[in-house]
Copies of this chain bind each other. A is one copy, B any other.
Amino acid sequence: MQIRVYYEDTDTGGIVYHSNYINYCERARSEAFFLRGLSPELETGGFVAKKLEANFIKPAKLGDILEIKNRLIQMKSASFSLKQEIFREDIKIFELSITLAYVNHKGRPQKLGELSTLVKSLFDD
């Protein structure tokens, strides 16, 4: 998935505001659903971030085109973890490890059950 850096993504320091790389990764996760004709908002619930670790390697600037790669690193009964990396012309500029829990519409954790297969097929490549 490719993302262009626009003005709204930058700050007065002249580079992309730090948390926007994390947003780009969220777009890439959602896009994995959209590309299959699905939505990350499921009838039975949705996914919420439980924890994340981010490494800021190099800054991106207005107009840059970034590429995001997702990789499944762990499946649990009610959550899963991804490694997501952002590249600019083959140079890695950011990496994120994120654990997402599956919750119902009241925010309570619930088992992925048969959703596990979907998650694997979306992110395990």
Binding site for B on A (CB under 8 A): 4, 6-8, 10-15, 17-20, 22-23, 26-27, 30-31, 34, 39-41, 46, 48-56, 59, 61-63, 107
Contact = CB atoms under 8 A, between A and B. Distances in A.
Contact of A23 (B4, B8, B14, B39): B8
The complex is assembled from copies of this chain, and their number is 4
B34 A23 contact: no
Contact of A41 (B22, B56, B62): B62
Contacts of A49: 18, 54, 56
Contact of A7 (B7, B30, B55): B30
A59 B48 CA distance: 9
Nearest to A101: B56
